[in-house]
């Protein structure tokens, strides 16, 4: 079974992005990403650090606005407005989950669509659904880049996606059905009848449900390509940290069936951050009246 490394693919993409950042700087344009972090969630803090590190690696600016756990909604919205109004800021990302007193949807909708580099705003979602996306949803586009760069054609293929979230499953199904990708897409969820049988029809099987080792051998047909979007932490006394990361797919169970698969960690995860950087670069281009930078 071939390993589809998101770590290696993201390195390749980041080299392309570095060249585009230099091109923009030659025009006195410096992409800038602002990240809002509310509270002390350890996983969120790690994600924010990784995003800042990648900004530095690519040669553009990052701004962090850290706010306390008890931040009120109106104070959070005030920070969003401040960043919206700052012409030096090209992209804005509010790290989720937010504390319970903050309304996530209201915050997402407060971010200007032209600075919504996560592609969560209903306006950008609508453009995606209409087949004319401005920004590419980060994780779904990362999945497509892995398939493209490893030479796996989606045209005419049966693609089964397990999970219908607004972050991965639903936007990925829309993207893959567009003419550029031309896949035949089935979206599965908790109410899908004969789930394993449906999954076995997939030429490309994608799991994004967040349940450790959910996808077993009887979900995968011989020769399928398997993309594991899940990142789950499970208890493991033998590990130095007492836990380890696993995906939605039982990697060992499918290795003699699948033609290729993404690992966890090192699969789709690194691609999500690379695609966020791609969107930030395009936000800077759009705000200067330039055409889209294509990967």
Question: What residues act catalytically?
Answer: 51, 95, 118
**Integer Cα distance of 96 and 75 in angstroms:** 16
**Integer Cα distance of 277 and 24 in angstroms:** 14
Residue 12 makes CB contacts below 8 A (sequence gap 6+) with 149
Q: Which residues of 152-168 are buried (b: 16+ CB within 10 A; e: fewer)?
A: bebeebbbbbbbbeebb
**Which long-range contacts (C-beta less than 8 Å, at least 24 apart) are formed by 150-153?**
150/2, 150/4, 150/9, 150/260, 152/204, 152/225, 152/260
Strand 32-38, strand 91-94: pairing: parallel
**Integer Cα distance of 285 and 173 in angstroms:** 27
Burial class (CB in 10 A: 0-12, 13-18, 19+), 94: buried
Strand partners of residue 233: 245
As a whole number of angstroms, the longest Cα–Cα distance in the chain is 56
């Amino acid at each position: 079974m071939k390993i589809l490394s998101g770590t290696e693919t993201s390195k390749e993409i980041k080299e392309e992005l570095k060249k585009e950042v230099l091109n923009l700087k030659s025009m006195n344009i410096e992409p800038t990403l602002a990240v809002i972090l509310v509270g002390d969630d350890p996983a969120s803090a790690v994600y924010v650090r990784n995003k800042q590190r990648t900004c530095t690696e690519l040669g553009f600016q990052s701004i962090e606005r850290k706010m306390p756990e008890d931040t009120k909604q109106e104070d959070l919205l005030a920070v969003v407005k401040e960043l919206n109004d700052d012409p030096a800021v090209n992209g804005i990302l509010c790290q989720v989950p937010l504390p319970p007193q903050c309304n996530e949807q209201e915050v997402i909708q407060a971010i200007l669509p032209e600075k919504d580099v996560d592609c969560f705003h209903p306006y950008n979602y609508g453009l995606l659904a209409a087949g004319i996306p401005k920004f590419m949803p980060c994780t779904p586009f990362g999945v497509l880049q892995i398939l493209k760069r490893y030479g796996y054609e989606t045209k005419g293929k049966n693609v089964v996606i397990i999970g219908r979230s607004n972050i991965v499953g639903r936007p990925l199904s829309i993207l893959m059905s567009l003419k550029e990708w031309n896949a035949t897409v089935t979206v599965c969820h908790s109410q899908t009848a004969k789930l394993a049988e449906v999954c076995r029809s997939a030429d490309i099987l994608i799991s994004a449900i967040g349940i450790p080792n959910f996808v077993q051998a009887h979900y995968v047909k011989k020769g399928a390509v398997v993309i594991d979007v899940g990142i789950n932490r499970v208890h493991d006394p033998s590990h130095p940290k007492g836990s380890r990361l696993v995906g939605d797919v039982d990697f060992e169970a499918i290795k003699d069936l699948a033609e290729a698969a993404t690992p966890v960690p090192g699969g789709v995860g690194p691609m999500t951050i690379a695609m966020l950087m791609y969107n930030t670069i395009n936000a800077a281009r759009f705000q200067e009246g330039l055409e889209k930078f294509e990967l």
